[in-house]
Structure 1
Amino acid sequence: MAGRIVILGVFVADTAYRAARQPRMGETILGRSFALGPGGKGSNQAVAAARAGGDAHIVTKLGRDTFAEMALATWREAGVTPAVTQDAGSYTGAAFIFVDEASGDNAIIVAPGAAGTLTPADVEAQAALLEGAAVFVTQLEQPMPAAIRALEIARAAGVRTILNPAPAAPLEDATLALCDMVTPNESEAEALTGIAVETLEDAARAADALIARGAGAAVITLGARGVLVHDRSRSVQLPAFEVGPVVETTGAGDAFTGAFSTALAEGRDLVEAARFGCAAASISVTRPGAAASMPTRAEIDALLGQS
């Protein structure tokens, strides 16, 4: 029987603008399209985990506004169980997303709102939920003290812990030592280690550096090149799947982390779980949006069955 996945993170309403390029300071340009939808790394990962078949729970804060209603509706539709407090004196988070029309690459500004006030005390109020999990996941969009306290509670209870170090920020070795796995992308791995990840060998060296600092394993996502699974006993590159043209890369890392967490909660091996996550991410980039792009379990299983 699959275990519970608990995710501490942020919900934001994504405001996505597609254009040929970003405007310069003081310049106004015409965009090609606009879309409003649910996002935030923690929320995206919870949606990805639930749609991939996991028993996903999210711990966060919202305002009491239209974007909060969007969050609750998104989780209800995906099958995510919220452990949420709402603050009428703040606002639900929002994000500006620029999407390059030609490549699908993106640049993002996040304003986390109420979730930016998450404290260790908020996390401690959900200690029983964390302690009963099979897998705990967090990122760095909410305040660091809350993330660290959640990792401490989960680790003390024997829960497998995953840190998705995004957006990139300095981390103490003691924090990495609370993580069974870290899941950075290339730029985040470089920010944490000082090693520019341009080749597979670079990725392995960065992974070694993260493990030397205390992480149990490093699972580095490499975009179109797939993912590197690296621990003290093995280093395995898993290629991305050929699904179709890339439409948008927003949320691809979250699709990976959420589906990866589901596979781990089901008892899969680290490499097998990463392959499952790769399949989810490969499907997600063929669709616009973040939460909206997360594939279902049936879609992931069908892709893996074809490979």
Structure 2
Amino acid sequence: MGILVIGSLNMDMVVRTDRAPQAGETLMGRSFSLSPGGKGANQAVAAARLGGDVTMAGTVGDDAFGRELRDIMEREGIHTEFLRTSASSPTGVASIVVEESGENRILIVPGANLELSAEDLKGMEELIAGADMLVLQLESDYNMTVKAAGLAHKHGVPVILNPAPAKEIGPEILPYITYLTPNETEVALMAGMPVQNPSDAEKAARILLGKGARHVIVTLGSKGALIVTEEGAEVIAGYPAKVVDTVAAGDSFNGALAVQLAKGLSLREAVGFANAVGALTVGREGAIPSLPDREETERFLRERAKA
């Protein structure tokens, strides 16, 4: 069937400014825009643009934002049979402040995203069982996310969990996870230890392996990504990039990882490709608008190979 993404769809309200305000401070921003996003939607579109056969499952509101997000999924060729419309909750939104440096601060109001429950998955078990890869995040109902991972594990379907937004998770879900993809902040929180360098990241990742995750891939920004397994650890180098906006960088990485692994590439090869996708994503504004397609990514890789 291809790649199944179960997760969030949001409309991003993006303010660009020289710097984020301090507590009690008012600043003038430089621009405002609405941009479709949400970690689930971002990862689904990233995978679809890179050649994946993608199904998106989640919930939007019966409002203008929800209709726009559904239209975008369909225009990208994503299957939406399991994208529900809530009769009572609005579409999720994210308020994003993007500084001149490209760094961002995000506040999410999940809205309809929380309506897809563990109980609802009873009607989706066949869908999950037929997937080549299940992709999950932590912007939706947590019990539903745990249930989805458990169903995939039951049917032998590999699971990618992008543990964002950061929160503590443990043995209720980690034994179901084939590929755990935290950034440095997230791996530190989950492992309960400070992470200030790749050596710390490896120690933290090994704690999570001990709790059941099979592979941990710690994203390191421009430095690339650290793969940690029971067999060893390796940093897969990243690509220098001019950072315009880091929104969706992690999501593009996860979408790319899902596509390459579903195609049968090795984890090392898949992570190298995903690093390139992430580098392209941070060079543009917005979430979904910043996601590259396969042709652009392969051209980028060819150019870097000649350099």
Is the CA contact (8 Å cut-off) linking 1:260 and 1:274 kept in structure 2? yes
State the match for 1:46 in structure 2.
44
Counterpart mapping for 1:225-264 below 5 A: 225-242=223-240, 244-264=241-261
Is the CA contact (8 Å cut-off) linking 1:20 and 1:100 kept in structure 2? yes
- Answer with 20-29 or 161-170: which moved more: 20-29
Is the CA contact (8 Å cut-off) linking 1:124 and 1:150 kept in structure 2? no
- Answer with 244-253 or 214-223: which moved more: 244-253
TM-fit CA distance, 1:259? 0.6
- The unaligned stretches of length 5 or more in structure 2 are none
Is the CA contact (8 Å cut-off) linking 1:174 and 1:214 kept in structure 2? no
- Answer with 202-211 or 25-34: which moved more: 25-34
State the match for 1:276 in structure 2.
273
Question: RMSD value over aligned CA atoms?
Answer: 1.2
If the length of structure 1 is used for normalisation, what is the TM-score?
0.96
Alignment partner of 1:210 out of 208, 211, 231? 208
CA distance in 2, matches of 1:257, 1:68: 23
State the match for 1:86 in structure 2.
85
- The unaligned stretches of length 5 or more in structure 1 are none
Q: What one-letter code is carried by the residue in structure 2 that aligns with 1:140?
A: L
TM-fit CA distance, 1:60? 0.2
Counterpart mapping for 1:55-74 below 5 A: 55-74=53-72
CA distance in 1, matches of 2:123, 2:106: 31
CA distance in 2, matches of 1:68, 1:175: 29
- Structure 1 residue matching 2:254: 3-state secondary structure: helix
Is the CA contact (8 Å cut-off) linking 2:191 and 2:204 kept in structure 1? yes
> Percent of pairs identical after alignment?
38
- Answer with 170-179 or 6-15: which moved more: 170-179
Alignment partner of 2:292 out of 288, 292, 295? 295
CA distance in 2, matches of 1:173, 1:303: 39
Counterpart mapping for 1:119-130 below 5 A: 119-130=117-128
Q: Number of aligned pairs?
A: 303
TM-fit CA distance, 1:257? 0.3
TM-fit CA distance, 1:224? 1.4
Q: What one-letter code is carried by the residue in structure 1 that aligns with 2:274?
A: G
TM-fit CA distance, 1:77? 2.4
Query: Does residue 173 of the first structure (1) align with residue 171 of the second (2)?
Result: yes
Q: What one-letter code is carried by the residue in structure 2 that aligns with 1:47?
A: V
Divergent runs of 4+, >3 A: 24-27
If the length of structure 2 is used for normalisation, what is the TM-score?
0.96
TM-fit CA distance, 1:196? 2.0
CA distance in 2, matches of 1:123, 1:251: 27
